[in-house]
Structures are given as C-alpha cells and as structure tokens.
Amino acid sequence: MLTFLILYYLEEFNKSQNLLQYQFIYFFFLYLFIQSYFSTYINTKFEYFQHQLIVFYLFLFTHTQLILHNINVRFSIKKFLLITTYTFLVLLVFILIYSLIKRISPTNSIEILFDNRRFFNHIQTIMTPILLYMLFTLKSRFLKTIFAFIFFFNIFLIFNTGARGTLYSLILASFIIYVTSIQNKKVKHMIIVLHILFIASFIFQQYIDSLNLFENSHSEHFKSVNSSGRFYIYSTLSNYIFDKNYIFTSIGFASQDVAQTGFLHPHNLILYIFLGSGTFGLVVFLYIFINYLYLCSKKNLSLRHNQNSLYKIFYFTFLAVFFHSLLSGIYITPLVSIFIFYFLIMYHQINFVQKKFISTDIYPKTTLLNLYLNKATKVILFLIVLYSFYLIKQNLDLFIFYNGLEHHTNIPGIFMFNERIY
C-alpha cells in the first residue's frame, strides 16, 4: 500500500517538475529511519536492528517499483497473468502432491513448506480473483476442467487452513465489485460462481472433518468468534495515536513495550504505519491513500461494460489485499512480496501509466544540481543495499540467540524475520 501511495503521489505531481516532489520518497523513508534513534520505545539492539531492516526493506521494494515505472516501457498484463497464475498453480499442485506422499493434511504441508500458513493465505488473497478471471477466459474445455479442479482446491485450502482474514476480505471485496458492476454481466457471473464455490468448499470441508481424515485441519477456526487478541491490541494502540508525545515520535516497527502482556504484531496496516512513523506519518499516509482510493473507486464505477472486466478483477484484488491488511500481518515475506510486487506494477499501469508515462528519469535533467543528486542517489542506494545485508546478519544472529534461550518470554520485541523465511 505504501508503494501504491508513493507512485500515486509522484504521478500527481509529475507536471510540476519540482525537484522536491521527486525527493518525497527519500525524505519519507529518511524520516522512518531516524525514528530508530530518537524513539523512546526503541531501546534495545534487537528493536533497533529490526526497525531499520523493515524500513530498508520497504524502501528498496518501493524504490525498485519506482524505477520500473520510470522506464518508458509498457509491461504485458497478459504475460503477468499467465506467469503468476501458473506459478501459483505449481504451488497448489506441489502442496497437494506433498500431502498425498507424506499422508498429512494440506494444512500440515503448508506449515512445513511456508513456515506459517498465513503466509500462503496472503498469496491466496492476491491470486484468487486473478485465478477466477483466468478460469473464465480460458477457451479450452480440457484446460478449464483442470483449472476448475485446482481452483476449487485453492478455495478448499482457505477453509482447511482456517483463513478467516482471506475469506472475509474476498467476500467483502467481491460484494463491492458485484454492486458496482450493474451492467457488467460477466463480472457478476464471476462473483456468483465464486460464492457458489465458497459454499461448496465449506460443505466439502465439513464432510472431510466428519471422516477424520486429517489431524491438523483448522476449519473450526471459522466457527470461532475469538478476535485472537486483536481488539486488545487495537484499543491499546489507538490511545497512543492521539497522544501528543507521539505526533512525530514512533513506537517502532518491532517494539512491544507498549503493553507487556498480549501485545504482538498489530495485524493492521493503519496501526503498523503509526508504529513506524508516529501520528504525523499516519496522517500523511491516510491523506494520500484516501485520495488514491477515491480515484480508483471513481474509475471502477465508470466502467460498466464487459470489455473492462480485467480492470474490475484487478480492483477486486486491490480491495481484498487492503481489507486483509487491516486484519492480518503485513505482506513482508519474500514469496508474498514477489507476487504483490508484480501486481503493484500492473495495477498502477492500468490506473495511470496507460494514460501517460511518468518522466523517463526520476529527476529532470535541467541543472547540474539535479545531475549531482541523481549520481549521489545511486551511491546512497548502493550503501543502503550493503547496510541491509549487515542488518540481515545482525537480525539473524539475534534471532538465533533469543531462540536458544530457555524462556522465550523475555524477547524484547516482535520478530518479523527468521532464518527459515530467508
């Protein structure tokens, strides 16, 4: 989402050719970085290194996006759909085969292969609408049959892993798409089929549970009304947003000193932005995001014909990812990042780049100062990459150290990385 907003910001102010507008991305991440030095909650080596690593991770992710948008090349949406779809299908088939060979539940397979089933659920949120679109655009009946089976397996895994965040996000986003697609019968048909598959998968999961075939099914998670501590986290952090002491001072991406008991990762994008940037950064984020969401929603409402089904499916994914980000952890693992990285490129191209390209260069080549800054930025970027490797090493060493302790309750912050994820 942060990448969306920065790209939108640069697109909106592109006409001004004001150098400071192009420096927004660097000033913003510099602001996040210096929080690690003067935040009163970042008071351990672990929290310090974690905060900086997350800032650099987001910076490099966003900066690469910016470079790709600033080269005067159109990306193939068709190739994107094919590559991501078949890559995800390979993952699904691998999970199925692994489960059959090991004679374990799909959830167990996902826990082994992905370290945490929620990482896989994040990919499902991104890919389910795209898979739905591909299912309806395939012309071969044979491929459609195979694709339908695999797509059903994907929906089944949502229930088998107890992915409430993924399911609720897809349902809410699909409802909005359905309501705003009054004259687009193709999209409405897609949404109806998707909900039929939801119901069928739920019934099938209940049948599987009744046979006791798998030991580790998490389908019962859907029947739980437990918030998993989220309401406590939300109510705790919300009070700090309106505290004058945190207008320009962050709590830190990795700090859990706010509440010694029960406070984990906020599982909410808004609160996560606040943790890393304070109230000021959150206000900036919300202001730009609301503008971006308004433009995307306005375009979605203006598209009513069948030939615009692809955009609505991309908008469907965008909404689902956003809703999920308000309920679950951030999309920060490498595999998830790869999927969302290319989705961001394509979605932004559909919204803006097809109208007009952003400047070929990040900086207007009009003065020697601009050229100097351009070269200086490349040097700084190289140093950031080197320092990021140093941060990775420090974080892994700290993870191994704390993981080796007899009591894990004394960990000073929130672990966002481990050696298995890398």
* Terminal-residue alpha carbon distance, the chain: 23
Query: CA-CA distance, 254 to 265, in Å (whole number)?
Result: 8
In the predicted model, residues of the chain with pLDDT beneath 50 are 15-20, 259-262, 306, 355-369, 371-372, 419, 421-422
- What is the reported pLDDT for 262? 45
| Residue-wise pLDDT tens digits, 100-126 | 898 888 888 888 888 788 889 999 999
SS3 for 245-267 is: HHCCCCCCCCECCCCCCCCCCCC
- Paired strand residues for 255: 413
Query: CA-CA distance, 225 to 315, in Å (whole number)?
Result: 29
- What is the reported pLDDT for 204? 84
Residue type, 25: I
Block residue for tokens 């989705």: 343
Query: CA-CA distance, 282 to 249, in Å (whole number)?
Result: 11
- What is the reported pLDDT for 177? 92
| Residue-wise pLDDT tens digits, 305-335 | 545 788 889 999 999 999 998 888 766 777 7
- Residue 338 backbone dihedrals phi, psi, to 5 degrees: -65, -45
How many CB atoms are closer than 10 A to CB 329?
Answer: 24
State both tokens at 134: 């591909």
- What is the reported pLDDT for 6? 63
Instruction: Tell me, rounded to whole angstroms, the distance of Cα 113 from its chain centroid.
Output: 19
Block residue for tokens 């996560």: 272
Buried b / exposed e over 381-414, threshold 16 CB at 10 Å, is beebeeebeebbebbeebbeebeeeeeeeebbbb
Task: Give the residue among 75, 28, 72, 21 at the shortest CA–CA distance from 361.
Answer: 72
